[in-house]
Structure 1
Amino acid sequence: MASAAQQRPSYSEAAVLVAIVFGWFILSSVFAALDGFPTPAAFSDASLVGLMVTELVLGAMALSFLRFRGHALKDLLPAPDWRGAMEGTVLCGAAIIACGVVNALLPSSPGAVDPVARMLAQAKPSLTVALAASVLNGLYEETFLLGYLMRGFASFGASFALGLSVLVRVLYHLYQGPAGAVSIVVFGIMLGVSYWRTRRLWPAVVAHILADIIGLSW
C-alpha cells in the first residue's frame, strides 16, 4: 500500500472526510448566510466546551476513517518543535497584517453585516477554556485542511490544492459574513502557502492557535 505521503485520496474519500469533519459546520453556516447573517451567540465557556467535545468526537471519527483507508496517522498530524512554534508566531503576525491591509483596501459599505465582530465583542470565556479551545481548534482544522486535503491533492498543483483547502475553510465560516469571508480567504491563503513551501504543518497550526487566542481574548 502507498505511504501517506504518496497516497492520493479519491474524490469520494475526500468528500466523506470533509462531510465528517466540516459537514455540520458547513450546513450551519449556509443556513446562517441564507438567514441574513444573524449575530451568533457570544462565545462562552459552555459553548467552547461544546465545540471542543464536538471536534474531539468528529476528529476521532475522521482519524478512524482515514486509518481504515490506509493512511498513516502519524504522517497526517503535526510534529511540534520550537522552530515551528517561532515560525508560526511570525506567520500569525503576517497573516493578521495581511488581513488588515486587504480589508482596509476594500470599499466599506455603511451598515454592512459583521456578525463575527459583534460575537467576539460579547465573548466572555475564561482564559483557560479559551486557550484549550484555541489549541484544539487549530489542530483540528489545519490537520484536515492542510495535512489531509492540501497534501493529498498536491499532485494536482499548488493552485488546485490551495484553492480546495481555502474553499472548504470559507464554506464553514460563512456565518461570519462577507467581511469575515475576506479575512478567512486571506488567512487561509497565508497558511496554505506556508505549508506548500515547507510541507511542515506545525507552523500553520501554531499560527491558527494564536489567531484564535487573540480573537477570543481581545
Structure 2
Amino acid sequence: MAGGRVGRWLTAPPSEIAEVTDPRARRLIGLEIAVVLTVTLGLSALRSALSLVDALLAPTPLADQQVALNAPAARADLVDLALQLVRVLQLVGWGALAVYLLLRAGIPLARIGLDRTRPGKDALGALGLAALIGIPGLGLYLLARSLGVSLDVAPSTLDDVWWRTPVLILAAAANAWAEEIVMIGYLLTRLRQLGWSADRSVLAAAVLRGAYHLYQGLGGFVGNLVMGLVFGRVWQRTGRLWPLVGAHALIDVVAFVGYALLPADLRP
C-alpha cells in the first residue's frame, strides 16, 4: 500500500499544458528559452562552472578555499547598501520577466500556482519543504566539506551594519523568487509545450540548478540537483509554486541571517 502511494507520487500526472505543434511557434519558444536562460540563470551556470575550474587549478586545496554568498560590494557603507539592493532588484526582474512571458503566451498565474487562493496550505507546504530540503542539505554540505570536495561556503561576509539583516532577508526572498519562477514555473511549462516528458524536463531543470551552484563545489551541485528534482516533482504533482518559493526563501533566510548573527568563533 505504502509502496503504491510512493509510486504514484514519483510518477508525474499528465500536464494541462498542451504541446505546441506549429513549427514556427516551437522555434520561437525554443529561442525564448535560450534568451531567458542566457540573461538569467543559464549564464550564471557558465560563470559558476568556470569559477569551479579556477578553484580546482588554484594551489590551495578546495576545502581550504572560501566563497561568500553575500559579500560587500563597495567600501562606502551606503554605496554597498545600494549595490546590494540593485542585486535584489535584478533577481526580482528575472522572475518578473519569466512571469511576463508566460502571461503574454496566455498562461495565467493560477496555472503555475502563483494565485492567492490557498495561502494557509501554501505556507504549511513551504514549512514542510524547507525542513525536508534544509536539514539533509546541511548534512550533505558538511559531508562534502569533510571529503574535501566543497569550498567553505560563507552565507554572508557583510559588515555588522544597521541594514545587514533586512538586506539578507530581501536577498533570500529574491533568490527564491528568481530561481523558482524561472526554473520551475517558467522552464517546466515551456518544456512541456515543446513536448518534453515530465521526467526529462525535471531532470534538465535540476541539472541546470545544480550547475549554477558549482562555484560552491561538488556538494553545492549535488545538493541543489536533489532540491531541483524534489521541487520539480512537487510542482508537477500539486501545481503550486508558492510553497516552493516560500521554502527556498525560508532556507536562505535561516542560512544568511543565522550565519551573520553567529559569533565568529562559532561559525563553521
- Measured against the shorter chain, the TM-score band is 0.7 to 0.9
Q: How does 1:1-218 map to 2 (within 5 A)?
A: 5-6=17-18, 8=20, 10-36=29-55, 39-41=66-68, 43=70, 44=72, 46=81, 48-68=84-104, 70-72=105-107, 74=109, 75-76=111-112, 78-80=114-116, 81-100=119-138, 108-110=146-148, 112-115=149-152, 117=153, 119-120=154-155, 122-123=157-158, 126-154=164-192, 155-218=195-258
Q: Is the 8 A contact 2:98 2:186 kept in 1?
A: no
Name the SS of the counterpart of 1:40 in structure 2. Answer: strand
Deviation at 1:39, TM superposition (A): 3.3
Deviation at 1:98, TM superposition (A): 3.4
Q: Aligned letter for 1:140?
A: A
Q: Is the 8 A contact 2:126 2:245 kept in 1?
A: yes
Give TM-score scaled by structure 2 length: 0.67
Give TM-score scaled by structure 1 length: 0.80
Tell me how far apart the structure 1 counterparts of residues 52 and 87 of structure 2 sit (CA, whole Å).
20
Deviation at 1:185, TM superposition (A): 1.3
Q: Is the 8 A contact 2:113 2:240 kept in 1?
A: no
Tell me how far apart the structure 2 counterparts of residues 66 and 194 of structure 1 sit (CA, whole Å).
20
Q: Is the 8 A contact 2:84 2:167 kept in 1?
A: yes
Tell me how far apart the structure 2 counterparts of residues 22 and 42 of structure 1 sit (CA, whole Å).
15
Give the % identical residues: 24
Q: Is the 8 A contact 2:202 2:233 kept in 1?
A: yes
Deviation at 1:30, TM superposition (A): 2.3
Deviation at 1:48, TM superposition (A): 3.8
Q: Is the 8 A contact 2:95 2:178 kept in 1?
A: yes
Tell me how far apart the structure 2 counterparts of residues 104 and 216 of structure 1 sit (CA, whole Å).
17
Name the SS of the counterpart of 1:156 in structure 2. Answer: coil
Deviation at 1:77, TM superposition (A): 6.2
Tell me how far apart the structure 1 counterparts of residues 48 and 206 of structure 2 sit (CA, whole Å).
15
Tell me how far apart the structure 1 counterparts of residues 232 and 181 of structure 2 sit (CA, whole Å).
12
Deviation at 1:152, TM superposition (A): 3.0
TM-aligned CA distance change 1:27 to 1:148, over 3 Å: same
Tell me how far apart the structure 2 counterparts of residues 210 and 180 of structure 1 sit (CA, whole Å).
18
Tell me how far apart the structure 1 counterparts of residues 209 and 201 of structure 2 sit (CA, whole Å).
13
Q: Aligned letter for 2:51?
A: A
Q: Aligned letter for 2:90?
A: T
Q: Is the 8 A contact 2:141 2:220 kept in 1?
A: no
TM-aligned CA distance change 1:135 to 1:176, over 3 Å: same
Deviation at 1:157, TM superposition (A): 2.4
Q: Which has the larger radius of gyration?
A: 2
